[in-house]
């Protein structure tokens, strides 16, 4: 073989010569020089390819590979189709002086008897509850007969959309055993290999439903996404007198029997506690979507004739949601229930595709699910109410009592506190200009003191004041310090601090955002310090005008807050208002330092505690329940709901829970100056017990027109001064004595008339109509109110 080659070359000597001539040192050098760029490029490509291959290898080696081929399903204990055709047979298994728990061990369903009223609450729908039950289609009949609905995802599907298993439809395996105060039931779905343990208990006059996280087992590729327990508990048809209450905005009511006044195709309301369980920053930045889905509290309530109950998620509340479906949504049954999220789900937008005609198809959303469970035991508690307590005011009272007993709601109003005015100020901002941005001073510290003096001269000594946009150059996050020199700088801040020392009625809170960050500003690492989604990428918005928004991890937030507190130690009388902290909770999948939603809530609570420990007054923007324990002022609690078409009216539920304990203002657009009608805004404040609230500037609001803060279209102090003072005086005179009192009742007496009652016996009738109202034995002026003392009985 080799000889052959030798032979070949000796025969064709010229080839060898040519090769020798071609590959001289000089030629090689020249060739290298001429092709330098190509070679470098190829080297880079080679490096990338190698890197890619190595990382794929590593990833594949690390990936958890589970084989389900040897799965042998458990033996089926019964056929649901047979079982659910049989009659029900409930046996009492637990109870105390208030409640009795009944269990049907064949079906695995429960009933609760309220001994005080004699009412029995059913957990499923039958012919008694809903006359057309028998006529409903099979799937919905199964759903309505179910105690538990499990939704699951397929781990091996690329786009793992959730599917549903219902108790009455697919549950073919069941074990139940009596335990202390109740029963433990194992619901099994052998085909998919999913088993869920649920405990039904009676504890201290309350029904408690527990879903231990270890009680959820999966034996195949199908994994649990959400568990819904007792979806039809307390469900009612469209002829009952009653309603569903849910914490949309301030609190919303959907009446059982109002279906005919709604659109033909009603939709459910989906609420998620504290913030959405989806992880996308765009979603949070769109406040419209935020309001659409956010629930400030993990609760809902049902009132049916003279009976009611309040359901509260007391374990794993941060991973829960509420679904409200009124009669008319597929079946004419009103139902409301919690969704307990067992795992996080991610929506990934696949890359955009450019079509041949040049248009762009936005990428499809693909759903993936986290492999790991959210490791918290779930617990739902039902508080039963009857007679005069069987309404949303009673629910608010029950919840308030529960929170206070558990130390989650503190009393921030001292008996000596006077009725305050709520104010917000915008200090300054930058207007984008061609070369250098222009700083616009709207209110300096000096102006602020002048305004306070001016108000004092009118007898207004007490106010809750939130100071916004006071940072240097109105910087974006994550900046939290220093103060802008144009509004007075540190010396101005020190002056304000000493001014406040002499005027103890004024609580001033400097608003600061510690949670969001934009890469426009330095001070954080967009790789290390930010929150990651479950697919291992930092959560951010699209890059817009070179700006990209991120969320900071809870540890970074805590570090920033501590730094801020140490830097402002000298300004002890100036409090902190944590914007977004009462709105936003998230999971952080940052590999180095992961955090669950519960960890984040704990961090927020630590932040508030440490701020209060520093002796600083603490305010929080947003109404999420977890901040109630350590806050002096709740800033921006809406006096409205999102306004879904299924919502019949708004009620001050959140307000009733905190009234008399924590002072609160209305939402950011619900100020006296931004409203379309100050008279109506005043009535809303009265109805919701909110402080009269104005968002002001010292300089003319026209200055803001071309800035990004043009939402403040009118705010000039000199322009609003008289109206502010007049409003405060009116409120102080009429409602000063309700400050520190609980709002114990709220009634909707007609489309335009409301009645509010305080614990000191003060009753206020409010009339929103353009005409006077005399229907209730008293005269309520048009767009006005009448105060009466409660009748002696």
Partner 1 sequence: MTGLKIKGRLKKLFVTAMATMMLLQTMTGTAFAATADGTDYVTVNSNERNPIPKAYVVADEINNLGTFAKNSKNYFKNPQDIDIDRNNNLYIADTGNNRIVVLDTNYDVIVVITEADGLPFEAPEGVFVDDSGDIYVADTGNRRIVHLANDGTYIETFVNPTDELVANDAFNPSKLVVSETGLIYVVRGENIMAIDGNNGFRGLFGQTDIGYNLVEVLIRMFASDEQKKFVTRRTASAYVNVDLGDDGLIYATSVERTEGEIKVLNSIGNNIYRKYTNVGDSFVNPITSFINNKLLKAVVAGTSFKFGEYFDDEGNYIEPNFVDITVDSNGIVTVAEQDGGKIYQYDQNGNMLCAFGGLGESKGTFSRPSSIAVNSNGIIYVVDRLSNNIQIFEPTDFIKTVHAATTAYENGSYDEAFDLWNEVLSMDENYTLAHAGIANAYFKMGEYELAMESAMNANDRDIYTKAFDEYKYEVMQKHFFLIIVIVIVVIVLVYLFLKYSFRAAKKATWNYISDKTKKMSIGQGILFAYNVLFHPVDCMEAIRYNKKRINMAIPFIIFITAYVVRIAYIYIVHYPLASIDLTDANVIFEGVKLFIVPVTWIPASFMVTSISDGETKMKDIFFATSLSLVPYIVINVPLMFISNILSKSQASWYGVFSAACFIWMFIILFLSLWILNGYSFGKTIKSVIIIAFVMLLIWVVVLLCYVLVGRLFQFIGGVYDEFMMSIL
Residues 700-729, interacting with partner 1 (CB under 8 A): 700-702, 704-711, 713-716, 719
Closer by beta carbon to partner 1, 182 or else 622: 622
**Residue 673 and residue 453: Cα distance in Å, rounded?**
21
Closer by beta carbon to partner 1, 78 or else 373: 373
Element (H, E) at 393: helix 392-405
For residues 726 to 765, the per-residue mask of contacts with partner 1, x marking binding by CB under 8 A and - elsewhere, is ----------------------------------------
**Residue 96 in tokens:** 């105390």
Q: Is 63 in the site for partner 1 (CB under 8 A)?
A: yes
Min dist CB 654 to partner 1, Å, is 11
Element (H, E) at 94: strand 91-95
Choose one: 30-38, 66-74, 234-242, 662-670; the region binding partner 1 (CB under 8 A): 662-670
Q: Is 443 in the site for partner 1 (CB under 8 A)?
A: no
Q: Which one of 26, 75, 542, 592 is in contact with partner 1 (CB under 8 A)?
A: 542
**Residue 549 and residue 734: Cα distance in Å, rounded?**
45
Pick the closest to residue 254 from 647, 645, 639 (CA basis): 647
Q: Is 476 in the site for partner 1 (CB under 8 A)?
A: yes
**Residue 521 and residue 74: Cα distance in Å, rounded?**
58
Burial class (CB in 10 A: 0-12, 13-18, 19+), 95: middle
Choose one: 8-16, 87-95, 349-357, 558-566; the region binding partner 1 (CB under 8 A): 349-357
| Contacts with 647 (C-beta within 8 Å, 6 or more apart), sequence order | 248, 252, 253, 254, 269, 641
Q: Which one of 232, 383, 384, 516 is in contact with partner 1 (CB under 8 A)?
A: 516
Q: Number of residues in contact with partner 1, rule: CB under 8 A?
A: 95
Burial class (CB in 10 A: 0-12, 13-18, 19+), 786: middle
Min dist CB 216 to partner 1, Å, is 20
Q: Backbone phi, then psi, for 767, in 5-degree steps?
A: -125, 115
Q: Interface residues for partner 1 in 610-639 (CB under 8 A)?
A: 621-623, 636, 638
Q: Interface residues for partner 1 in 154-183 (CB under 8 A)?
A: 158
Q: Is 590 in the site for partner 1 (CB under 8 A)?
A: no
Q: Is 208 in the site for partner 1 (CB under 8 A)?
A: no
Closer by beta carbon to partner 1, 459 or else 781: 781
Q: Interface residues for partner 1 in 278-297 (CB under 8 A)?
A: 282, 284-288, 290-292, 294
Measured CA distances, 722 to 458, 500, 726, 728, 729 (Å): 10, 23, 6, 10, 11
Quickly tell me which residue has 């659409």 as its tokens: 292
Q: Is 77 in the site for partner 1 (CB under 8 A)?
A: no
Q: Is 153 in the site for partner 1 (CB under 8 A)?
A: no
Q: Is 570 in the site for partner 1 (CB under 8 A)?
A: no
Choose one: 196-204, 334-342, 374-382, 666-674; the region binding partner 1 (CB under 8 A): 666-674
Min dist CB 361 to partner 1, Å, is 12
Choose one: 171-179, 219-227, 447-455, 642-650; the region binding partner 1 (CB under 8 A): 642-650
Angle at 385 between CA 381 and CA 391, to 5 degrees: 110
Min dist CB 270 to partner 1, Å, is 11
Q: Which one of 431, 461, 473, 747 is in contact with partner 1 (CB under 8 A)?
A: 431
Q: Is 366 in the site for partner 1 (CB under 8 A)?
A: yes
**Residue 595 and residue 605: Cα distance in Å, rounded?**
15
Query: Count of CB atoms within 10 A of residue 78's CB?
Result: 15
Q: Is 785 in the site for partner 1 (CB under 8 A)?
A: no
Min dist CB 155 to partner 1, Å, is 10
Q: Is 347 in the site for partner 1 (CB under 8 A)?
A: no
Closer by beta carbon to partner 1, 27 or else 287: 287
| Contacts with 680 (C-beta within 8 Å, 6 or more apart), sequence order | 768, 783
**Residue 176 and residue 122: Cα distance in Å, rounded?**
19
**Residue 328 in tokens:** 């008319």
Contacts 24+ apart (CB under 8 A), 254-257: 254/324, 254/326, 254/334, 254/646, 254/647, 254/648, 255/648, 256/304, 256/327, 256/334
Min dist CB 42 to partner 1, Å, is 18
Min dist CB 36 to partner 1, Å, is 23
Min dist CB 705 to partner 1, Å, is 5
Can you state the angle between helices 36-62 and 25-34, rounded to 10 degrees?
Answer: 70
Q: Interface residues for partner 1 in 259-278 (CB under 8 A)?
A: 260-265, 267
Min dist CB 382 to partner 1, Å, is 28
**Residue 661 and residue 290: Cα distance in Å, rounded?**
27
Provide the 8-state DSSP code for 588: B
Closer by beta carbon to partner 1, 77 or else 349: 349
Min dist CB 707 to partner 1, Å, is 8
Q: Is 538 in the site for partner 1 (CB under 8 A)?
A: no
For residues 376 to 405, the per-residue mask of contacts with partner 1, x marking binding by CB under 8 A and - elsewhere, is ------------------------------
Cβ–Cβ under 8 Å, residues 147 and 124: yes
**Residue 204 and residue 405: Cα distance in Å, rounded?**
13
Q: Is 28 in the site for partner 1 (CB under 8 A)?
A: no
Min dist CB 291 to partner 1, Å, is 6
**Residue 38 in tokens:** 């190509």
**Residue 672 and residue 683: Cα distance in Å, rounded?**
11
Choose one: 202-210, 376-384, 563-571, 675-683; the region binding partner 1 (CB under 8 A): 675-683
**Residue 415 and residue 400: Cα distance in Å, rounded?**
19
Burial class (CB in 10 A: 0-12, 13-18, 19+), 522: exposed
Q: Which one of 24, 35, 50, 352 is in contact with partner 1 (CB under 8 A)?
A: 352
Q: Is 41 in the site for partner 1 (CB under 8 A)?
A: no
Q: Is 132 in the site for partner 1 (CB under 8 A)?
A: no
Distance of alpha carbon 528 from its chain centroid, rounded?
25
Q: Given the DSSP bridges, would you call strands 320-325 and 333-341 parallel, antiparallel or unpaired?
A: antiparallel
Q: Which one of 1, 5, 37, 60 is in contact with partner 1 (CB under 8 A)?
A: 60
Q: Interface residues for partner 1 in 217-246 (CB under 8 A)?
A: none
Distance of alpha carbon 172 from its chain centroid, rounded?
36
Closer by beta carbon to partner 1, 27 or else 710: 710
Min dist CB 669 to partner 1, Å, is 6
Angle at 248 between CA 242 and CA 251, to 5 degrees: 55
Closer by beta carbon to partner 1, 76 or else 285: 285
Q: Interface residues for partner 1 in 317-346 (CB under 8 A)?
A: 346
Burial readout 341-364 (b: 16 or more C-beta within 10 A, e: otherwise)? bbbbbbebeeeeeeeeeeeeeeee
Closer by beta carbon to partner 1, 22 or else 543: 543
Measured CA distances, 329 to 135, 150, 546 (Å): 16, 20, 45
Closer by beta carbon to partner 1, 398 or else 646: 646
Min dist CB 91 to partner 1, Å, is 42
**Residue 434 and residue 430: Cα distance in Å, rounded?**
12
3-state secondary structure of 142: helix
Min dist CB 56 to partner 1, Å, is 8
**Residue 684 and residue 666: Cα distance in Å, rounded?**
9
Quickly tell me which residue has 């080839």 as its tokens: 15
Min dist CB 146 to partner 1, Å, is 27
In terms of residues, how long is the chain?
793
Closer by beta carbon to partner 1, 333 or else 623: 623
Choose one: 18-26, 355-363, 489-497, 655-663; the region binding partner 1 (CB under 8 A): 355-363
Closer by beta carbon to partner 1, 414 or else 434: 434
């Amino acid at each position: 073989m080799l000889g052959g080659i030798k032979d070949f070359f000796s025969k064709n000597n010229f080839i060898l010569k040519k090769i020798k001539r071609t590959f001289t040192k000089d030629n090689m050098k020249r060739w290298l020089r001429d092709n330098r760029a190509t070679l470098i490029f190829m080297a880079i490509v080679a490096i990338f390819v190698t890197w890619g291959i190595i990382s794929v290898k590593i990833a594949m080696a690390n990936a958890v590979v589970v084989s389900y081929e040897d799965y042998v399903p458990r033996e089926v204990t019964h056929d649901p189709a047979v079982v659910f055709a049989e009659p029900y047979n409930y046996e009492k298994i637990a109870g105390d002086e208030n409640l009795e728990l009944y269990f049907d061990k064949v079906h695995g369903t429960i009933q609760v008897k309220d001994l005080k009223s004699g009412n029995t609450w059913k957990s499923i729908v039958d012919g008694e509850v809903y006359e057309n039950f028998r006529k409903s289609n099979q799937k919905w009949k199964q759903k309505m007969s179910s105690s538990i609905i499990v939704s699951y995802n397929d781990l091996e599907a690329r786009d793992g959309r959730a599917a549903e298993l219902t108790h009455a439809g697919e549950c073919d395996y069941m074990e139940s055993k009596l335990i202390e105060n109740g029963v433990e039931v194992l619901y099994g779905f052998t085909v998919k290999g999913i088993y869920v343990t649920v405990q039904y208990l009676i504890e201290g006059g309350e029904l408690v439903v527990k879903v231990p996280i270890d009680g959820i087992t999966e034996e195949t590729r199908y994994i649990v996404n959400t568990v819904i327990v007792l979806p039809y508990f307390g469900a009612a048809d469209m002829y009952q007198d009653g309603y569903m209450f849910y914490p949309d905005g301030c609190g919303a009511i959907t009446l059982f029997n109002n279906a005919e006044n709604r659109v033909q195709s009603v939709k459910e309301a989906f609420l998620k506690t504290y913030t959405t369980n989806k992880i996308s920053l765009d979603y949070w930045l769109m406040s419209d979507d935020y309001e659409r889905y956010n629930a400030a509290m993990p609760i809902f309530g049902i009132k049916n004739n003279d009976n009611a109950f309040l359901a509260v998620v007391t374990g794993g509340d941060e991973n829960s949601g509420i679904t409200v479906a009124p009669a008319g949504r597929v079946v004419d049954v009103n139902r409301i229930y919690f969704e307990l999220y067992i795992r996080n789900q991610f929506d990934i937008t696949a890359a955009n595709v450019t079509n041949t005609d040049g248009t762009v198809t936005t990428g499809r959303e693909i759903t993936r699910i986290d492999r790991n469970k959210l490791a918290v035991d779930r617990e739902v508690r039902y508080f039963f109410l009857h007679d005069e307590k069987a309404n949303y005011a009673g629910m608010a009272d029950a919840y308030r009592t529960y929170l206070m007993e558990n130390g989650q709601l503190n009393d921030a109003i001292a008996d000596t506190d006077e009725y305050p005015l709520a104010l917000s100020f915008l200090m300054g901002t930058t207007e984008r200009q061609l070369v250098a941005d222009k700083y616009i001073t709207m209110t300096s510290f000096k102006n602020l003191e002048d305004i306070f003096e001016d108000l004092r001269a009118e007898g207004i000594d007490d106010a809750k004041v939130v100071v916004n946009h006071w940072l240097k150059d109105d910087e974006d996050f994550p900046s939290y310090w220093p103060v802008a020199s144009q509004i007075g700088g540190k010396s101005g801040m020190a002056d304000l601090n000493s001014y406040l020392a002499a005027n103890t009625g004024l609580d001033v809170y400097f608003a600061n955002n510690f949670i969001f960050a934009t890469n426009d500003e330095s001070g954080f690492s967009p790789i290390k310090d930010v929150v990651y989604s479950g697919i291992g990428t930092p959560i951010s918005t699209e890059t817009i005008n070179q700006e990209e928004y991120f969320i900071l991890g809870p540890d970074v937030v805590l570090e920033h807050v501590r730094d801020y507190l140490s830097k402002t130690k000298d300004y002890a009388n100036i409090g902190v208002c944590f914007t977004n902290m009462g709105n936003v909770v998230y999971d952080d999948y940052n590999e180095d330092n992961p955090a669950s939603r519960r960890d984040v809530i704990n961090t927020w609570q630590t932040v508030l505690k440490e701020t209060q420990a520093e002796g600083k007054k603490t305010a929080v923007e947003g109404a999420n329940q977890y901040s109630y324990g350590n806050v002096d002022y709740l800033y921006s609690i809406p006096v409205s709901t999102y306004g879904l078409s299924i919502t019949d009216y708004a009620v001050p539920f959140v307000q009733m829970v905190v009234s008399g304990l924590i002072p609160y203002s209305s939402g950011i657009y619900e100020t006296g100056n931004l409203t379309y009608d100050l008279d109506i805004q005043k009535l809303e404040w009265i109805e919701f017990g909110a402080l009269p609230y104005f968002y002001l500037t010292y300089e003319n609001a026209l200055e803001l027109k071309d800035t990004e803060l043009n939402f403040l279209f009118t705010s000039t102090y000199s322009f609003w001064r008289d109206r502010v003072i007049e409003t405060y005086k009116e409120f102080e005179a009429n409602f000063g004595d309700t400050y520190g009192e609980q709002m114990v009742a709220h009634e909707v007496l007609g489309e335009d008339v409301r009645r509010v009652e305080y614990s000191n016996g003060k009753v206020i009738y409010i009339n929103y109509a353009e005409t006077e109202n005399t229907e209730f034995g008293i005269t309520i002026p048009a767009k006005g109110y009448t105060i009466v003392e409660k009748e002696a009985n």
